Amino acid sequence: MKNITMNVFYEQAMALIDTLENQEMTHMVKASELCAEAIKNDGIVHIFGSGHSVGFGAECTGRAGSLVPFHMIETSDFVTKGLTTLADFKNPDDNFERRPNIAHKLYDLYQVRPQDVFIIISNSGINGVVIDLAITAKAKGHKIIVITSMQHTLAEPSRHPSGKKLYELGDVVIDNCGPRGDALIETGAIEKICSVSSITGIYIAQTLTVEICRILSEDHCDIPILLSEEVLGYEKFNKELLEKYKGRIN
């Protein structure tokens, strides 16, 4: 067995974060420009990731210091909004996130306006639901930001009937810089351990927040940020802001 310690992971993960910052900043700024443009035009940003990629949306929404016009789409909305049963959703023999031809139903569940932008996250970028939502949103004229592992997606065949992969549908593609299979540390056996895409995903999410705020500020536009209610008076500000986007972000 190779020498595996938490420090080994830490050092490799930090090196990868440096790679992300150096290699992908241009793409992250470009993505921020698309989001800022949507927000300036009273649009919102829809965020969709299936599996562990749902964490990206959770990182961006509903917290003090986050932008309000972000809407998180979850595959479990299929169940909570009555489009399928829990048994079907959890069927181990027919993995839900791999299914094609269902994502258009997700799109129809929400209040989507023409100026809205979509961020679609998938480490592999090969599964049915994410690719279909990207196809649907693109066909409706929305800008698509894709976050994926280029190393992984280029190494695996698409599971979508079209043969397409998610990155091919992106107006902007951000590489999360993770390795194929997501795990980073060699063990000497077939398995590698310790995944990294959620960590680099958080950095991408937070970078978008910073850059969108910067762009809105430079363009003299309102910055719709959720404030910490520890500060007196901010509760009212938050309430009004949430009211403005009510029904579109929740």
Partner 1 sequence: MIRLNRKNGGIKMNAHEYFSETKKILDFAKENQKEALIQMSRAIGDVMMTNGLIQLLGVGADRAFAMELGYRAGGLMPYHQVNMKDLVLRGLVSLEEYQDPNFLNRKDIAKMLWGQYNIDPKDALLVYVASTATQSVLEITKFAKQENRKIFFVGSIKSVSRNKVGKDLIKLADYRVDLCTPYPDTLLTLHDNIKITQVANVVGNMFAQMMTAETYRYLKDLNQDPAVLLSANVTGADVHNRKISDVYLGRWNS
> By CB under 8 A, what part of segment 58-87 binds partner 1?
58-59, 62-66, 76, 79-81, 86
Query: Among 52, 51, 77, 73, which Cα is nearest to 61's?
Result: 73
34-54 residues labelled b (16+ CB within 10 A) or e (exposed):
bbbbbbeeebbbbbbbbbebb
Residues 1-30 that bind partner 1 (CB under 8 A): 1, 4-10, 13-14, 17, 21, 25, 28-29
- 122 in the Ramachandran plot: left (φ > 0), alpha (ψ -120 to 50) or beta? beta
Residues 138-177 that bind partner 1 (CB under 8 A): 152, 156-157
Shortest gap between Cβ of 246 and partner 1 (angstroms)? 12
Chosen residue from 37, 83, 95, 109 binding partner 1 by CB under 8 A: 95
**Calpha distance 47→134 (Å, rounded):** 11
Extract the tokens encoding 129. Answer: 């639901």
**Calpha distance 215→238 (Å, rounded):** 21
Chosen residue from 101, 113, 221, 235 binding partner 1 by CB under 8 A: 221
Residues 231-250 that bind partner 1 (CB under 8 A): 231, 241, 250
**Calpha distance 9→4 (Å, rounded):** 8
Given the complex with partner 1, which of 141 and 233 has the nearer CB atom? 233
Chosen residue from 30, 40, 55, 99 binding partner 1 by CB under 8 A: 55
Chosen residue from 180, 238, 245, 248 binding partner 1 by CB under 8 A: 180
Name the segment binding partner 1 (CB under 8 A); options: 56-64, 100-108, 112-120, 129-137. 56-64
**Calpha distance 80→71 (Å, rounded):** 16
Given the complex with partner 1, which of 134 and 142 has the nearer CB atom? 134
Residues 110-129 that bind partner 1 (CB under 8 A): 123-124, 126-127
- Residue 118's identity, in one-letter code, is F
